[in-house]
Structure 1
Amino acid sequence: MTMTDRYAVVGYPVAHSKSPFIHARFAEQTAQAMCYERLEIAPEDFDHSVREFFDQGGRGLNITVPHKEAAWQLVDWRAPNADRAGAVNTIYRLDDGRLAGDNTDGVGMVRDIETNNAGTLAGARILIVGAGGAVRGVLPRLIAAAPASLCIVNRTESRADTLARLFADQIRINVLSYAQLQQQATAFDWIINGSAGGLKGELPPLPDALVTSGTACYDMVYAPGGTVFQKWASTHGAAMSLDGSGMLVEQAAESFRIWRGVRPDTGPVIQALRETLASNQSVS
């Protein structure tokens, strides 16, 4: 009898997660004997529950809000980009029994932009909106894509300053306030929205003049019918206006590759997810 390996996504809350939908299609596509579930775990129970999952034979976990920094603290070994980001979204067990952590968010976003949408990050002038955990998680890979310049605008400037110092040995990050952004004369090639407000459907206070016909916009979150940031970008004539559904599938594919040693074809799964979101169906 074939054993079915157990995987899960851990969050609080987690009922909304599309990860089971995505990984079920990856498993079917690559003929992998595995199951993937949702585990809603409160922050105070996180360490114990994760260790228990692996002690009971679990093979891998995806970590989502609000546990990514706790996961970074918990694991015994971290991949370099996860170590730098201070956030882990993928946990697995090494052959010697230690728990290992990686962060596939940056890989997912860069691959979605460059491979799926033929976007160019190398040499680009990039504005990032937000300075929280989501942005911190993607910065190592975004910097590795070799942009010409990187600016961060955030309501709390001190958080953006922290990121600028953290990555100062790799790139100079220019920190802007929203007031300074209003005076910004330089156009941006990319505006990436990683603000916490995006999760609640809030639009950051961005000046309309930021968007030109040469500006591409990318929202790290997604919503049925499109996000408010996407709609704002489209209304103002952005060259591209993308949501985070492709990033979600691509980061999941990278986790799947780490766990199973095979990389699934993401195209059909992105299409299936978008069709489901467009029809506003529930995804299981």
Structure 2
Amino acid sequence: MNVAADQYAVMGNPIGHSKSPAIHAMFAKQTGEKLRYEALLVPTEEFSEAVEQFYSNKGLGLNITVPFKQDAWNKAERMTDRARRAGAVNTLWKDETGALWGDTTDGVGLVRDITVNHKVDIEGRRVLVLGAGGAVRGVLESILEKNPSAVVVANRTVSRAEELVKLFGELGNISACGFSEAEGPFDLIINGTSASLQGECPPLPQTAINQQTTVYDMMYGVEETVFNRWARERGAQTVIDGLGMLVEQAAESFSIWRNKRPETAQVIAKFRGE
């Protein structure tokens, strides 16, 4: 007798570019888990209804991407502390009582990629984080948990960076400034702006980057990102894009749903080779 595969999906708009179905198919094959994972295009005004319909059709877990992460935060009945502080949810599931839980796995994905895959220490290091939007808010707690000596959040609008300092200040040494005030050198620079998509880079001082600086762009693409190329031209020897973060945050979601942590190295290598 054929047992029906457990149903999972990612919801977003747009969604056609999503690598999540391929990533989770590889995780399922690797771990022997019987599941089906699809990408669902959801009209922007119909997110809540789409979630309810998914679960009424015996769906078990959802990933949420742009532009619905805040809607998912509002929809969740219970959530992890890291999701509550991030103000965004990218992973949904129901517990045995039927309550809808929310979590964010982006920060764990980022930190695992930096520290495990690339063997770059965060503890005791001076970290510059660029941007103050949802992408940065979603990862700051995980960065601060690694005990850097200092985290500086730089943003074009300084008041938005200062809001994040208030929100995360109790977790570690964190401060805010404008891009041009981010005096270095820094051990690690993480770009959480959309600069690479727009083909422009934040106006950082020349001192921010030296040969020892590791530069991480949360964006990724077939070509080297604009930000990473810019950093390399300014002397950075180690530049990393966000492909590994994408796979690692998916692995964290998978382990929440299935209680098994898949190996990520071969999955990252496959997408890197495409």
Partner-residue secondary structure (3-state), 2:59: coil
Q: 2:158 touches 2:177 (CA, 8 Å); kept in 1?
A: yes
How do residues 37-186 of structure 1 correspond to structure 2 at under 5 angstroms? 37-181=38-182, 184=183, 186=184
Partner-residue secondary structure (3-state), 1:213: coil
Q: 2:63 touches 2:90 (CA, 8 Å); kept in 1?
A: yes
Query: Aligned equivalents of 1:56 and 1:163: distance in 2?
Result: 38
When the two structures are superposed, what TM-score results if normalisation uses the length of structure 2? 0.96
Counterpart in the other structure of 2:204: 206
- 1:236 Cα shift? 2.3
The amino acid across from 1:42 in the alignment is: P
Structure 2, unmatched stretches of 5+, are none
Counterpart in the other structure of 1:273: 271
The amino acid across from 1:257 in the alignment is: S
Structure 1, unmatched stretches of 5+, are 277-284
Query: Aligned equivalents of 1:2 and 1:202: distance in 2?
Result: 51
- 1:144 Cα shift? 0.4
Query: Aligned equivalents of 2:22 and 2:201: distance in 1?
Result: 28
User: Cα–Cα, structure 1 residues 132 and 26, in superposed 2: closer, same or farther, change >3 Å?
Assistant: same
The amino acid across from 2:268 in the alignment is: I
Query: Aligned equivalents of 1:189 and 1:159: distance in 2?
Result: 23
Does the alignment pair 1:193 with 2:155? no
User: Cα–Cα, structure 1 residues 37 and 202, in superposed 2: closer, same or farther, change >3 Å?
Assistant: farther
- 1:35 Cα shift? 1.0
- 1:180 Cα shift? 2.0
Counterpart in the other structure of 1:280: none
- 1:176 Cα shift? 0.9
Query: Aligned equivalents of 2:204 and 2:185: distance in 1?
Result: 13
Q: 2:147 touches 2:172 (CA, 8 Å); kept in 1?
A: no
Query: Aligned equivalents of 1:208 and 1:125: distance in 2?
Result: 16
Counterpart in the other structure of 1:257: 255
- 1:201 Cα shift? 4.0
- 1:197 Cα shift? 3.0
Query: Aligned equivalents of 1:44 and 1:171: distance in 2?
Result: 38
Partner-residue secondary structure (3-state), 1:229: helix
When the two structures are superposed, what TM-score results if normalisation uses the length of structure 1? 0.93
Identity %: 47
Partner-residue secondary structure (3-state), 1:191: strand
- 1:42 Cα shift? 2.6
Query: Aligned equivalents of 2:226 and 2:186: distance in 1?
Result: 20
Query: Aligned equivalents of 1:201 and 1:17: distance in 2?
Result: 22
Query: Aligned equivalents of 2:237 and 2:127: distance in 1?
Result: 14
- 1:10 Cα shift? 0.9
How do residues 214-229 of structure 1 correspond to structure 2 at under 5 angstroms? 214-229=212-227
The amino acid across from 2:126 in the alignment is: R
Query: Aligned equivalents of 1:271 and 1:228: distance in 2?
Result: 22
User: Cα–Cα, structure 1 residues 208 and 16, in superposed 2: closer, same or farther, change >3 Å?
Assistant: farther
